[in-house]
Structures are given as structure tokens and as C-alpha cells.
Structure 1
Amino acid sequence: MSGTPVTKSSHLYLVDGSAYLFRAYHALPPLTRKSDGLPVGAVSGFCNMLHKLIVGSKARDDKDAPTHFAVIFDASGDTFRNEIYPDYKANRDAPPEDMVPQFPLVRDATRAFNVPCIEMTGFEADDLIATYAKQAAALGAEVTIVSSDKDLMQLVDDRIEMLDPMKDKVIGPDGVVEKFGVGPDKVVEVQALAGDSTDNVPGVPGIGIKTAALLIDEYGDLETLLAQADGIKQKKRRENLIEFAEQARISKKLVMLDQNVPVDVALDEMGVVEPDAETLIGFLKDMEFNTLTRRIADALGADADEIEAAGDHKPDVKPKRAANQDAGAGKTGGKPGVINQALIDSAPIDADAYECVTDVAALDAWVAEAFAAGTIALDTETTSLDPMSGRLVGISLATAPGRACYIPLAHGTPADGTLALDDPAPEQIPLKEAVARLKPLLEHSGILKVLQNAKYDLVVLKRVGIDVAPIDDTMLISYALDTGLHGHGMDALAQEFLGHSPIPFKEVAGTGKAQITFDKVPLDKATRYAAEDADVTLRLWHSFKPRLVGERMATVYETLERPMVGVLAQMEMAGIKLDPAILKRMSSDFAQKLAGLEAEIHELAGEEFNIGSPKQMGEILFGKMGLEGGKKTKTGAWSTGADVLETLAAQGHDLPQRILDWRQLSKLKSTYTDALPDFINEETGRVHTSYSLASTTTGRLSSSDPNLQNIPIRTEAGRKIRTAFVAEEGNVLISADYSQIELRVLAHMACIDTLRQAFADGLDIHAMTASEMFNVPIEGMDPMIRRRAKAINFGIIYGISAFGLANQLSIPRSEAADYIDRYFERFPGIRAYMDDTKAFAREHGYVATLFGRKTHLPEIKSKNGAQRAFTERAAINAPIQGSAADIIRRAMIRMPDALAAAKLPAKMLLQVHDELIFEVPEAQAEKTIKVARQVMEGAAAPAVDLSVPLVVDANAASSWAEAH
């Protein structure tokens, strides 16, 4: 499992482990382990189910395979329901004797599959499932609850379904109606009346499921029914409802699932990763599941030697986690790197050995030791993940492996500096005094400071007056060395290269609603956690740093990675002004347009329906209207994704196009016009996005909180959002944007003389391409023909298919295929470049940019055809997009010095793909444009002598929209 955020494209599977174990035990034939007679029948069924849902679906490349997965168990002991009703589940028999030893085994099996195994004292598995399901659905994800437990049917909706694994049956809203006679939102009301003999839920005597459903259908809910019970004609029913009204209310409390459990494991920790072959196969061999062992070995690509290596003993089944934290995606595994094992073994990591520095004398001693060491690791602890709003709580230092300390600065101290008399802060050095003593060390040019994700700490420390330099960043060294092989967060790196799992943040601060900020963490826990981070960071540096020279990646790190840290830190601190009044007006305008679109959609459909419901939409488009091209998911519902709607719209159907318009406008409203004002910093009055340097495989930056790189630019509504980003009074914003940089890189890398000459002559490249392909003159060209050439030009870079091009241009697929074939005929060098790049990737396992940045492609020889094809497209694209990303990085690194040399007060605020945004006094705009253009257009030199010119379009205006 990995630290993978749950998004609208995610599919979470939640397995009701306890319920499945009981069903498997009773439904499957008995099975014992031959060597000792241990009962393992239910464990076998459980393992087969997990294989089918996780490993099997991945091997088959199932579209609906889980992206996130967890197994939830009932913890032993009473729950909160026993406090409500002491006899709850009191009539349940003890489990069969041969089932008891299988309880811990299924938990071991879960961990062997590298799946979170979750249970929580005081709550039932159903409550945890309800909490996780609703959390994921609220984020827009699809949820499949693997269970047939009727109590969970109250959770079913358009995003949450149930899957009975024994019958391979999907249960949606219709299935709930079939079971209870009411929809999911009324299940609790029906259960409150009917009760449940299995769980000893009393209900109302004489009322079963059917009668309860009839009553709830008639009265709407339990309270209304009970309030009007004296009007019911049937005497016995009326009397029971009156007499046992309170019993019904208690029953409702018992059957209603708690959707707000303070869970310990976050959704992000449920991301699916491949099981460790040796661990899983070792467990299965120990269980003597020979057939399943072979099947899973084949699915995992493990050979006979690996199976044999797993041995006949029960392995340690603690999962190898691939937590990515702030550092983005990547697969676990890959080459192990150069680990200084002697250094690690000589000083084992011991969190109890670290020192908590609470007085000036001790701090001075550590500063002296740091000066003597010459290289130290540094880390900060704050109250927020946002470096611009988080308060500095403490600093940790490491001077050698195993030698680290934590310096608390604001534990127990409110933000305003006051203290309640009965709640004194622990002893610690005042912030100003600690800063005064640390500043000479952290700013000293002769002391190297090693950090993990240094940009965060640089911003935090800059806010208290410390300019940290020089630095090394273990996250970025890892990124330079191993892009594409594994994640680059500290936890992932520690596990991968040190064989150590650092203390989880939740262990010291809790999770969910119970989570506390770091200033509330007791000093003993804070010291172990924070000092360990510094210790681990220093150990990683010792492991990684020698590899840079040995693997010839030092230049990439020194020129493209490390210098970006300070540049981005300055940009993030500068932020950009946002006018909330403009956004408020736009939200109102979008709301009116959405209402109009909704009315138009309902009119086209001939009836009202929930436009946000994929199920209802599918029934309208393919059930009622009978549009061609519909396909169903395994749940039996019609697929209504954007690709499906775009295909229908391309066929000339109005309704799918209006739905697409509605979806796009709704997303713009919720994601931007409604949400952006919340990101305005109270202190600065500006928005401070956060840039990630190591989250893509091509070197491109990504931004978050808020993400300013995904604001649409091709639609009028999207462009309007940029009008809210404005300059301060007396200033202007400058947009400097590379013109068709990726096509220019392609022309250079693929040696396409025709394209090179066109760029050299300053021709309209899309018109030139159209002229070459369709034999039409450039003068007076039909805009539609140019548009087709433009779509092909950009599509080729991303490996566009005939199907994709057909959708984009609203033309038959055969015609799109002809266009692509004709393109390669006119520009044969591009086909040669693609073939050569794929061959290089297969031979070496990576591709590289013009500047030496490598993207490793471990799946390039995958036996899975779809995975292999995807990786081949990535291999073609990465050198082009990566080279363009490197060029703009080089420009950004040079820009501050160039502006300072020209004595211009301009600030670089944003980077959005190929565009840089500056703010400058209006009188200095033209000079700033000249300098920016000069730096950007010359950014490739002298490292690469491009055979095509780089061209930058630059403009100044009062808002981002006007400047672009």
C-alpha cells in the first residue's frame, strides 16, 4: 500500500473481513493443513478472494480494478452499542472450535497480500467501513464494499456499491430495494421496526421486513410513524407500535452505522501496490495452498527459484510499504543503490537515544559539534503542512548517524504567546534566543545542511529570519538518480535503502478529529519522532551522494534540481494577489448558467434526473434514448465517463454535449471560483501555491494548495478565472510563455529538417504542417484544416491514437488513421525517432532528456500488453516533455540574477507549464519583458545547441488573463 491520494478517478475496495470469514467457513468444505492438521479452509477461501480482487484484477487489467484496498475486521470486546443496549448480540453462540485458530491467520494473510488490516476497539467493522466509504465517496471516488451483510446496505448510493464475493453478485440501489422493499436511505428505518434476531436487535414485535417497508413507505420515517401510531387501523400493530416505541428508537441507534469513527489509518494509506512476492508466496506455502501459490506466483511474475527461496517456514508478513508522502508517484523496487552498510550497522537507529535540547548551554554545545562536523542534517516541525501559515515548533539536527537532537521552541505555547497559569509550557529555549544561536550555523557557507524536501524548511526558517545555505536535498538526489523506480518521500526511501520504517506521524499526533498539532505533542514523543527524521535524512545522504558521480547524474542534480529549491521558495513566499469579489461574481454567474444547462438537459432528456448520477444518466442515454455505443461496467451500470460522452457528442448528439458542458462548468465553480478565496493567506492577502519538484517522471513541476496549473485555458469560462489573479496597485503582471516549445524540441531531437526550417523562418507551424500533409497553400488556408494539423502536431507527442484523434476532431476513425499515416509519410524522421527511442528504452531501461535527466521505465518489457504499450508511449514523450521542462527550469534558475543585474524590482510569482508570471511596477514592464525573454530564449545554451530557435511571447497587463 502507498501514500496515494484518493481522487475522483479512484476505486476503493473495503472488504468486510470478519463477515467473509464466517461465510467462507460455513460455505466451503473443511480443509486442514496436511503437516499438522491445522484448520485452514476459511483462510483458503479468504486468500482466493483477495487474489481475485487484487492480483487477479491487475493481471487481467480490469478497468474496475481497485486503486485503493483495505480489509476491515471486528475487534474483540464490547462496542458502543453494548452501552446503548447491554443485550446487543448477547444471544450469539461462540464460534466453532476449528474456526478460532483461523482468526489470526486471515489477518496474517491480509498483511501478506500487502493490504491494510484494520480493526478498532469499541467499533464494529461495519462502522469503519461506513466511515471510509463515505470519506471516499465525498472525494468523488467509487467504492465497492465486499460483503453481503444487509446492515451495510444503508450505505449504498450512486458511488457506493456492494459485492457479494461468494455469489459474485453486485448490489446497488435496486438490490437494496429488492431486499428491504425501500431504498438505501430508508434501510435503517425498516431495520429499526423489524429488528434483527441474529444481533439481538429487538425492533417491534409482530413487524417483519415487508410490513416495516410498507409502513415506512406510507409514513416516511420512524418518528413520523410513531407519532401517528394511534391512527393505525390494525389493533395489534397499533398497540405494539405505541408500547414498543422506545424499543424501536433504541433499535434504530443499534442498526445505524457510525460514519464518523476517528480512524487511525487514512484513506491515502490504502493505495494498492503489488504484494512482495517472497512474503506472499512464503505465507501461502506455509499454509500449503499449492495451487493458489502457483497461480499467484505466475501473476506476480515470480519464477520457480523465487518460490523455492520463500522456504517452508512462515515469513515475517509485515508489509513493505511504499509511502510517497510529498514526493509523488513511482513504483517500489528498482536498483538498490549504494548503501554504506558499515556506516549503518555501526550506529543502529535508536529513537530513544536522541537528546532533547531545552537549555542554551546544551544548544551551544550542539552548535559547536555541528561546526566541527561540517555536514549536518536539518529538519523543522511546524503546526501545518502549509509553510506560509505553519508556526515553527521545533528544529532537529543530526551530526552523524545515530547522533541527533530535537530543539523544542513552541510546545504548549499558544500562537499569541500567552499561557494559562494552570497549563504551563514545558521547559524550552525561547524562539528568538534559539534563532540567534542557530542562525550563524545555518547560514554559514562552510557548513553543508542536508534536508529532505528542503523547500518546505527553507520557507519556514526564512519566516523567522534564517536564510539556510548551502544545502543538499535527499529527496532531489533520489529523484535525479531513480526517477520512475520508487517514491522519493522519506519513509519510502528509509524503507527502500535503510531497511527502516520511521515513526509514523499518526503515532505521535493521532489521526482524524483526534489529531493534534505538533506543538501539543509531549516532548519525549516529539524528540523521538523529529530527531529520527534528521538522523534518517543524514543516513540517506551518505547512501545517495556517492552515487551521483558514479552514475553520472551529478550535473543533473547540481544544475537542474538543487538550484530550483531556493528559486521556488522565493516564488512561494511571494505569492500572487487574488480578487475574491471577481470570483464571487463568477460563482454567481456560473450558478445561473448551470441552472440553465440543467433545464436544457432535462428538456432534451424529456424528464428530470440527477445529472450528477452516472447511473441515472446512463439509463437516460442508453436505456431510454437508445444511443449507440453504450457499454456496461461489471456492476451492470452504464459507463458514462468523459470518453463515452465525448464519443456520443462527436456523433452529433446534443444531450451528451450539454452534460459535458454542465460537468465542466460545475467543476470550475467548485474547484476554483468557490474554493480559491479560501486559499488567501490572512497575513499576506495573497495566494501561495506549493510546488512539487519530484512528483512527475518528466521533470515538470506540479502545484497544489491550490493547483494553479490545471486552470483550463482553452475555454472561455476557464480563461475568465484568470481575470481574478491581479497585480497590486501600480504594478502589472507579465506573462512570458514559450511558443510551441515541445514541437521545437521534437524537431531538434528527431532531426526533422522541414520543421526545423519552418521554425527558423518563423512560419505558422500548424499551417505549414497542414500545407505539407494536405497539399494546400498556406495563404488563405481554411481554419478547419489548420486545426486538424494542430491536433496532429500536438497529439503525436503524446502518442495519440486514431480513436483519440477522431474524437478530438469529430471525424471517422478511418479518416483519423489516414491523417496519422500521412503525417508519418511526410515526416519520416518522427517515426524513426519513436522506434529508436523505444528500442533504446528496451535495451537500457530508461530514456533521457537533452540535458541528461533520466526517466527509468521498469515496465518497458512488461508481459502485459496494455502496460507495455503505455510505457512505450511514456518513453517517446518523456525526452520531449522532459527536455522542455529542463529548459524552463534553467530559465527560472538564471532569472533572479538576471533581474538583479538589470536592477529590476520584478518578482517571479508562478510557473504554469511553459509560462512564467512576474509582477513588476508598471514603469519597469518593458525592461522586464526584455530581460525575461532574453533569459528564456537562451536557456538551453551552452549545454545544448538547439537547431531551432526558442521563441517567447510576453505581455503585461493588470490581470493574468489579459497578460496571457
Structure 2
Amino acid sequence: MIQPMSTHSLAQALTENDHLILIDGSTFIFRAYHALPPLTRKPDGLPIGAVSGFCNMLWKMMQEGPTKEKGDEPTHFAVIFDKSGKTFRNDFYPEYKAHRPPPPEDLRPQFGLIRQATRAFGVPAIEQQGYEADDLIATYARQAAAQGARVTIVSGDKDLMQLVTDKIGMVDTMKNKVIGKPEVFEKFGVGPEKVVEVQSLAGDSVDNVPGVPGIGLKTAALLINEFGDLEALLEQAGTIKQKKRRENLIEFADQARVSKRLVQLEENVPVETPVENFSVCDVDGPQAVGFLKAMGLTSLTKKVADITGAVLENIEPIEVTVEGWESPVKPAAQAEDTSGQPEDKMWSAGPVAEKIASEISAIPIDSSAYETISSVERLQEWIAQAYEVGYVAVDTETDALNAMEAGLVGVSLSSVPGKACYIPLAHVDGDGDLLGGGGLLEGQIPLKDAIALLKPMLEDPAVLKIAQNMKYDWLVLARYGVEVAPFDDTMLLSYTLDAGVGGNGMDELSQRWLNHTPIPFKEVCGSGKSQISFDKVPLEKATAYAAEDADVTLRLWEILKPRIAAEQMSVVYERLERPMVETLAKMERRGISIDRQMLSLLSGDFAQGAARLEAEIHDVAGEIFNVGSPKQLGEILFGKMGLPGGKKTKTGAWSTSASVLDDLAAQGHELPSKIVEWRQLSKLKSTYTDALPGFINQETGRVHTSFSLAATTTGRLSSSEPNIQNIPIRTAEGRKIRQAFIAQKGKVLISADYSQIELRVLAHMADIPQLKQAFADGLDIHAMTASEMFGVPIEGMDSSVRRRAKAINFGIIYGISAFGLANQLSISRGEAGDYIKTYFERFPGIKEYMEETKKFVHANGYVETIFGRRAHYPDVNTKNPNMRQFYERAAINAPIQGSAADIIRRAMVRMDEVLETAGLDAQMLLQVHDELIFELPEEQAEDTKKLVVSTMEKATEPALQLSVPLKVEAEAATNWEEAH
């Protein structure tokens, strides 16, 4: 299948819970170079001062985050570099950056080493021909923010300040300064959205941006604040009173426009690596240590080895490539191992798998052994071979990434390792597509004929079809009338066996098991402006790329499939993973209708509500200020009004984070409450009501979200394009968004939701008599907990007492600390600690479960759900206490959350057959956490509700009888919200 740009690996869309850090590589390099005295490597004298400084700064950033504050840790991380050579700016202004001096001689050989260092630490090192690092940063930052994530750009570069928003911030580590909207205003005299306008006038002598003579930053800011933007200013330049300024603006108007094009960052770079691929992963200790040893950086080598558990004496320096250095490169002196013996990683595939992998890897991967199929007769022979062997690896190539819109370009097959074929179906003349004057290349079987030949085999139960991420191929082929069955999915095989060990994408699996890196997509389709779609790839290149995918997939299957039975993971794979492919694919094909008009009305309402709130905020504050400015807001709340709980960040500004405002609002303070409401409305508008219509499929008129398997360690599903999992439901305004998800005329939606499923799973797994009895009796579990803890009767209980018990009930599942509970309930840490202590005294089984789980994960490196799904934590025995506690908390939660995920999976894979057998026309459309959404004829609502509830409540049977009953609440309505 076509892969996202230059990678085969699968990645998930970012969410509002994610934090992306983008490091400006140039900033780090030059800071490292100038901040440290010259340092050379022994014995060959290779300059490594910048490498040393860069590695130390990068490692520190990876360990501490950009500000060292709790909650600031990244989920996604990348270093962005400038690619040498001209950029698109030089095309229209050759003088751009022409005056910049060349880098120092002793820095030149370190550029390549620094990129190698970045990759050695497992961090993406991103650069792209034709674009500056700033353009890539702009593109990735906007993409991540559009998906709801928070972005921190680590740089002091003023050009990047135009990107700052509520979602995108900057940190200048050299000055230890956080840069938000107030800091941008302080620098430029305008907000981030006007920075480009100001720079267009002021110019930049360093980059040779001309601007307008005689106009500096202050004057530029005054002019832009007065006229609004550059074009308005230039159009009205004749009204400027100052003669020289007026004349310069008129004379150099075009120069100002060119300057704007130079300073305006490109936010739509066709990036070669998707932002979703920047997920933070464990550092490969041997790889990082091997590089540091090669550089002779003894001190950092020991630190990295200690934290990653790498055994120094077992690791040799890796080979490095040094460009621009004339002296002979010799191995660096070995670092001395004084760190003791760190624990080994708690994961091993076992000798059998390693033996099979060794045998499979010994078969050469050679594109000359791959065949381009151009005749019906030859295709029939390959199909016959698949029948003879009984299995075949299948991969599709398409002209787009969205499976609901992609056109089939070709199919590759492989039944024998080392041999594969590619069947081109829709490759066109490279000079244009079919609509643009090109034509189909010769030597291709007509698509209809090929489908007619392939369909019987792809649907025949006598032949097992093997794919990597089968859901994509299944969806693509289904649009051509083919429903693939039966099948295996190497991505899911890996996920079933090794969830938490590493990624499950084809590139990573190929490197892990075959020691082979597949052909990068950019080598076939190019990159940047010169990138082409796969249907324009010459057949020889297309065959080498596509057939290799099938060959690699087959090899991975031969290694991974035997492990399923050997490691007793058949139930998980056969009952929970593989069936979900078809289940989710069908849900994605169905899609769901949304009401454009309602979303438009909601956008208007949210805009009006935000404006009204802003006026009320100004009234309560007694002055007009920028509501979106944390600095100004902090001064109002804590400086002027003197509200309690104020705390300053390291920059000296008052903190106005969501938790701070929520705490103040909970205490009844009016202004913070209105600020919280204003922020919520602004986010709802930009993230949901404005964005959702853009996801409507032009062909179907419905929204088709993409569900992601193998996305989490615990087995929970996620979704993207759009991400329906994060639609907010805690406020009335947030819930209104679900009103826009509607049933077609004459139909209704049913929402069926598990009630408190994770608490029920906890009661079963930890064997808590009080909780089990309460669930059996249908009691209010939070009121019961409060009664047990505080000795108060359930009847007439104060709502605040129940709220505290509810916070503890759910917090315990996620390993909440006294500090966290104190913040959540606005109580002292001591009081919160007493609550947790009392909770464990009343429910001792929960504490015992936690301690037993920690013992188990330390001994085995994994934990299991009630159905046997394993979540691996191979680094749980790390010597780093903070990381060890993090893994322990995750290990405690994983069996609970994972079991709940398994339960709803079991219900989902049964649902279509149950509904069809009952003669009902209901279709399952969405899964959101513990909830399923169906669309059905209105007259079938009651029968469908009963059947859905029964299927979900009996999802564990007959394999397992829970000691607590599962409870499902279901309602029918014409829209999603009313179905709650």
C-alpha cells in the first residue's frame, strides 16, 4: 500500500493530551559551538565541541522537558535542521541570506555528526531540500495544533515568533525564557499574527531582507497597529504625514511585499515525515552509548548507560561518517565503565523466533528477483502458486493515503520469501494523469480484468492472505468489490506479542527482525515540490518498492506467526485482534452524517458567547485587557485582585494554567470561572465546529473517521481524521457538538455505554467484597464509597462528600498521588494523603492488588488483562526512580484499562452477526471509549436496544464470568447527544 511519505511505520493522530517539542537544530548547534571551549577527539583531533554540547543539551531536554515543570513532558519530539543548498526563497530573491558568512571550519565536520547523534538518541532528525528549518517547524507546529496538541518550539529565533498561539509556544533555553503572546508583543509591539507585517517593513540585515528604508521595528509596529496590515498601509501610504516615511513607503512598496514573502514561513510544506511519527520512544541504550563512545564523550556515556540500562563493557563504538574532515578517522578511546551492572531489558523473543529470523534473513532481499506482471497468463500462474502454497502476502499501492478516497494503482504478491511480483493497474504517463493529458502506461493488465482474476483468490477460504495493516488494504479492495478473507495481519501479530516493546510498523519490524531497511518512499516518489503520486512511478521502480513490501511482510509473518501459539497468545489474536480489522473497516465505510447547518450555528453561537464573556470579563476585572494573554491575566487575577493560590513560573509570570483557573473557579471566584468558560468556547469553535465540515467525504456525504489498531499498549482504540474520541462532554456547550452527529431521515441513533466499567473490572480483579456487593445491588458506587470511608449514611449525603469519593475512585485507577488529589479537590496535601490512606484501609484488596502487580511486572516485564493481553514494560527495572514509578503506575492501570478495552472489543466483533441473525437493520458506526453508536430504522429502536444491551453485558461470556455484573445504558434519538 502507499505509505505516508518516507516511512512505512504506522502512527496515530495527535490529540489534546499530546505535547510536541520541536527543537530548532541550528539554535542548539551554534549555542553549543560558541558556549563551550574547543574540544577535540583523541587520538585523531576531530573537533567535537559542538557535538558534545549538542548531545548534552539534547539529553537534558529529553530527560527534563523544555521547562522542567511537571506535566511539560513531551509525547512527541523532533529536531529540525536546515538542509544545505538553495530554498524556494532564493528562486524569487537570489540575494536572500547572501551576506551570511560561511560556518567556521572546525564546525563544518560536526554538522553531520550532530545529525547522527540525534538519530542515535532515537530522535527524528528532520531536514528537507528546498525549505528552511523554520518552514518545517511552522508546518509541523500548525499540523499538531490543528489536531489539538500543544506545541513547544525550542528556539530563540525571532522569525518563529509569528507561530505563537494559545497552542504553540516557544522556549529560549539560552535565556531560560518562555515566549508566549505577551513576549512576542514585547519584542515586536504587535501580536504574533502581525509579526510578519512588521518584519516586512523593518527588514532583517542578517538575512538580507530589505524591508523599507528608514523604518525600524517600533515604527513598523506603530504603522501596522494603525492601518491593520501591510497591504492596507501601502494602499493608504499617501495619507502618511511624515514626508520621508510617505515617500519610502510608496517607492519601496514592492520591496516590502517581497520582504513579506521572505519572512512569511511556509506552513504547508509537503513534509516527507508526518508529525504523527514523532512519538517519543525509549532510547536504544546500546545505540546511544555506541555513538557516545565513538565520540569519546565519557561523562555523558556513563549517564546514558545508567538510565538506559546499557552495559558499557558489552558495547563497541559504532562507525560514524565524518564529512569535511581531512584527518584520518580513528576509533575514540573507550569510556570506562564505573556504573555497575544495570538490569537487562525484560523482553526477549526467545531462541526459536531468533532462529527463524536468522534463517529468513539469510535469504537475500533482491529486487532483481521481483517480477512485473503484464499479462493475464502470468498473473494466473502467480494465483495458482498462492493456491498451491495456501497463503500469499498481499499489498496494495494507491494514489492517496485516505482509504475511503484512494484509487488502486497496483497489487503486489509473495508466497515464497525472496520472490514477489507487482501487478501494475493504473500507472500513467509521468507527464500527466489521465485528466491532464497523460495516458495509461503500456504493459498493464486492465484493472477490471485483474480484479476479476484476483477476487476469487482474495475471498477464497483456501488461501490465507497476509498483510501489514490489513485494514487499509481491506478498505481499498472493498471499494472494488473485493472483501478479503481469511487473513493475517503482521502488524497485529507483533502488537499481540510485543505491545509496549517497540513500534509495529513495517519499517521498524523489518529492521528488528530482518536487519533490513525497506526502500524509502521518497526514493521512489521523490520529495518536496518534485514529489509524484505512485501512479506516476515508472514500473521498474514501482515493482522494486511494492514487491519488496510483500516480500518483507511474508518474512515477518513466518517469524511472528509461530510465536502466537508458542507463547499462548492465540485467544488474544484470534478473538480480540484479527476480527477487529473487518469490524472497524466496515464501521469506517459506513461513516456518520453530520449537520453542517448546526455546526455553523454553533460556531456563531460560540463566537457570540466568547465575545459576550470577554465583555463580562473586562467588566469584572474593571479594565480592558487581552483575555488570551496569560501574563496580563495573571496580573489581573493575582496582582490586582489578589486572589489566593497564585504561583509564579520560572519566568516570573503568574501561572494561569487550566488547573489554576479550575481551582479558583471551584472556590467561587467569578473572573476565573468566566475565563475558563471563554477558553472552552474558543477551543470548541476552532477545533470542532469550524473543522468538522472539512472531513465530509464528497462521494458519500458522510464523515468517515479512521480507527487505529495497535495504537496503545493497553488495547484501547483511537481515531483520527477526525478524532472523535476527544469531543468534550463535560460542559453543555461541548455536548452540543454531538448534536451535529445525526441519523438519516427515518432513522435514529442508539448510544450504548458501559457504566463504570473500569471500576467494575477493578472490583473483579482486586476481589473487593464491598465494591462487588454494591455493584450487585445496583447501588450508587461513589456514595457507597463515601459511606465506607467517612462513616456517613448514603441517604441525604452531601454532594461534596460524594464528589470526593468519586475523585478517589477514579483517581486510584490511574495511580493518583496525594498531590494530584489535593489539586483536584482543592484541599491540603496532608488531607488528601489521609483520604488515600483511609481508602486503602477500607478497601485493603486494592492496595494488595497494586503491590502484587508491581511485583509481577518487576519479575516478568509485563502485565496481563483478564483475557491474557500483555502490556510490556521492558524498562521497569530502571535505576531511575522517577521512570520506575512511572512504569509501575502504568502497569497497575494497564490490566484494568486493557480489560475494559478487551470487553468492548468482544462485544464489537459479535455485534454485526447478532444484529443480522435477529433480522435487524442496525449498523454499528462509532466506538468512543466505552460507548458504541448505531444507526437504524426508527421502528426497530426498542428491539435493537435490547439486543445491543444484552450483547454488551454478556461480552465476557462464555469465556469468563465476571464476579460483578456489567451494566449498559442505551437510548435512541435522532442525534448523538439526545441519545445520552
The amino acid across from 1:611 in the alignment is V
> Is residue 677 of structure 2 the alignment partner of residue 661 of structure 1?
yes
For 1:346-745, list aligned pairs within 5 A.
346-412=362-428, 423-510=439-526, 516-745=532-761
Rate the CA distance shift 1:537–1:615 in 2: closer, same or farther, 3 A.
farther
- Distance in 2 between the 1:567 and 1:632 partners? 50
Work out whether residues 650 and 807 of structure 1, in 8 Å CA contact, stay in contact via their aligned partners in 2.
no
Rate the CA distance shift 1:958–1:627 in 2: closer, same or farther, 3 A.
same
Corresponding residue for residue 326 of structure 2 = none
> Is residue 53 of structure 2 the alignment partner of residue 45 of structure 1?
yes
State the SS of the aligned residue for 2:978. helix
The amino acid across from 1:940 in the alignment is T
Work out whether residues 452 and 474 of structure 1, in 8 Å CA contact, stay in contact via their aligned partners in 2.
yes
Q: Normalization by structure 1: what TM-score?
A: 0.87
State the SS of the aligned residue for 1:555. helix
Q: Comparing both chains, which one has the higher relative contact order based on Cα–Cα distances under 8 Å and sequence gaps of 6 or more? A: 2
> Is residue 885 of structure 2 the alignment partner of residue 847 of structure 1?
no
> Of the candidates 314, 317, 323, which is equivalent to residue 311 of structure 1?
317
Give the percent of matched residue pairs that are identical in Structure 1 and Structure 2: 65
Deviates more, 1:569-578 or 1:175-184: 175-184
Work out whether residues 55 and 296 of structure 1, in 8 Å CA contact, stay in contact via their aligned partners in 2.
no
Work out whether residues 309 and 878 of structure 2, in 8 Å CA contact, stay in contact via their aligned partners in 1.
no
For 1:101-140, list aligned pairs within 5 A.
101-133=109-141, 135-136=143-144
> Is residue 943 of structure 2 the alignment partner of residue 937 of structure 1?
no
Q: Report deviation, 1:499.
A: 2.0
The amino acid across from 2:840 in the alignment is F
Work out whether residues 357 and 513 of structure 2, in 8 Å CA contact, stay in contact via their aligned partners in 1.
no
Q: Report deviation, 1:511.
A: 5.4
Q: Report deviation, 1:850.
A: 1.6
Q: Report deviation, 1:408.
A: 2.3
Deviates more, 1:214-223 or 1:612-621: 214-223
- Distance in 2 between the 1:587 and 1:410 partners? 42
The amino acid across from 2:912 in the alignment is P
For 1:189-268, list aligned pairs within 5 A.
224=233, 258=266, 260-268=268-276
Q: Report deviation, 1:76.
A: 4.0
State the SS of the aligned residue for 2:503. coil
Q: Report deviation, 1:367.
A: 0.8
Deviations 1:683-726 (A, max 9, x none): 43433333223222222222333333333444333443333334
- Distance in 2 between the 1:763 and 1:225 partners? 71
- Distance in 1 between the 2:538 and 2:973 partners? 51
Work out whether residues 292 and 317 of structure 2, in 8 Å CA contact, stay in contact via their aligned partners in 1.
no
- Distance in 2 between the 1:214 and 1:446 partners? 76
Work out whether residues 646 and 657 of structure 1, in 8 Å CA contact, stay in contact via their aligned partners in 2.
yes
State the SS of the aligned residue for 2:402. coil
State the SS of the aligned residue for 2:40. coil
Work out whether residues 265 and 511 of structure 1, in 8 Å CA contact, stay in contact via their aligned partners in 2.
no
Q: Report deviation, 1:493.
A: 1.9
Corresponding residue for residue 329 of structure 1 = none
- Distance in 2 between the 1:721 and 1:98 partners? 58
Corresponding residue for residue 302 of structure 1 = 310
Rate the CA distance shift 1:150–1:804 in 2: closer, same or farther, 3 A.
closer
Rate the CA distance shift 1:618–1:930 in 2: closer, same or farther, 3 A.
same
Work out whether residues 262 and 514 of structure 1, in 8 Å CA contact, stay in contact via their aligned partners in 2.
no
Rate the CA distance shift 1:527–1:625 in 2: closer, same or farther, 3 A.
farther
Rate the CA distance shift 1:641–1:408 in 2: closer, same or farther, 3 A.
farther
Deviates more, 1:947-956 or 1:528-537: 947-956
Q: Report deviation, 1:399.
A: 1.0
Work out whether residues 346 and 874 of structure 2, in 8 Å CA contact, stay in contact via their aligned partners in 1.
no
- Distance in 2 between the 1:816 and 1:958 partners? 44
> Is residue 948 of structure 2 the alignment partner of residue 948 of structure 1?
no
Q: Report deviation, 1:442.
A: 1.0
> Of the candidates 772, 777, 785, which is equivalent to residue 756 of structure 1?
772
- Distance in 2 between the 1:921 and 1:491 partners? 45
Q: Report deviation, 1:114.
A: 3.5
- Distance in 2 between the 1:798 and 1:171 partners? 32
Work out whether residues 361 and 514 of structure 2, in 8 Å CA contact, stay in contact via their aligned partners in 1.
no
Rate the CA distance shift 1:315–1:497 in 2: closer, same or farther, 3 A.
farther
Rate the CA distance shift 1:288–1:226 in 2: closer, same or farther, 3 A.
farther
State the SS of the aligned residue for 2:47. coil
> Of the candidates 773, 787, 790, which is equivalent to residue 789 of structure 2?
773
Rate the CA distance shift 1:834–1:680 in 2: closer, same or farther, 3 A.
same
Corresponding residue for residue 872 of structure 1 = 888
Work out whether residues 413 and 419 of structure 1, in 8 Å CA contact, stay in contact via their aligned partners in 2.
no
Work out whether residues 77 and 124 of structure 2, in 8 Å CA contact, stay in contact via their aligned partners in 1.
yes
Deviates more, 1:21-30 or 1:344-353: 21-30
State the SS of the aligned residue for 1:919. strand
Work out whether residues 638 and 654 of structure 2, in 8 Å CA contact, stay in contact via their aligned partners in 1.
yes
Over the aligned positions, Cα root-mean-square deviation in angstroms equals: 3.9
- Distance in 1 between the 2:892 and 2:757 partners? 16
Rate the CA distance shift 1:921–1:107 in 2: closer, same or farther, 3 A.
closer
Q: Normalization by structure 2: what TM-score?
A: 0.86
The amino acid across from 1:673 in the alignment is T
**Structure 1: stretches of 5+ with no match in the other structure:** 318-331
> Is residue 343 of structure 2 the alignment partner of residue 335 of structure 1?
no
* Alignment: residue pair count: 945
Rate the CA distance shift 1:181–1:508 in 2: closer, same or farther, 3 A.
same
State the SS of the aligned residue for 1:647. helix
- Distance in 2 between the 1:719 and 1:127 partners? 37
- Distance in 1 between the 2:29 and 2:611 partners? 49
Work out whether residues 343 and 401 of structure 1, in 8 Å CA contact, stay in contact via their aligned partners in 2.
no
Rate the CA distance shift 1:499–1:603 in 2: closer, same or farther, 3 A.
farther
Deviates more, 1:862-871 or 1:477-486: 862-871
Corresponding residue for residue 277 of structure 1 = 285
Corresponding residue for residue 325 of structure 1 = none
**Structure 2: stretches of 5+ with no match in the other structure:** 1-6, 324-344
The amino acid across from 1:47 in the alignment is C
Q: Report deviation, 1:362.
A: 1.9
Q: Report deviation, 1:361.
A: 1.6
Q: Report deviation, 1:803.
A: 4.4
Rate the CA distance shift 1:487–1:233 in 2: closer, same or farther, 3 A.
closer
Corresponding residue for residue 360 of structure 2 = 344
Rate the CA distance shift 1:488–1:113 in 2: closer, same or farther, 3 A.
closer
Q: Report deviation, 1:374.
A: 0.6
Q: Report deviation, 1:540.
A: 1.1
Deviations 1:238-268 (A, max 9, x none): 8888877776666666566555554444433
- Distance in 2 between the 1:558 and 1:711 partners? 31
State the SS of the aligned residue for 1:390. coil
The amino acid across from 1:30 in the alignment is P
State the SS of the aligned residue for 1:917. strand
Q: Report deviation, 1:65.
A: 4.8
Corresponding residue for residue 298 of structure 2 = 290
Corresponding residue for residue 335 of structure 2 = none
Deviates more, 1:192-201 or 1:386-395: 192-201
For 1:907-922, list aligned pairs within 5 A.
907-922=923-938
- Distance in 2 between the 1:732 and 1:86 partners? 62
Deviates more, 1:37-46 or 1:429-438: 37-46
Q: Report deviation, 1:486.
A: 1.6
Deviations 1:642-695 (A, max 9, x none): 222222222322222222222333333334333333333344343333322322
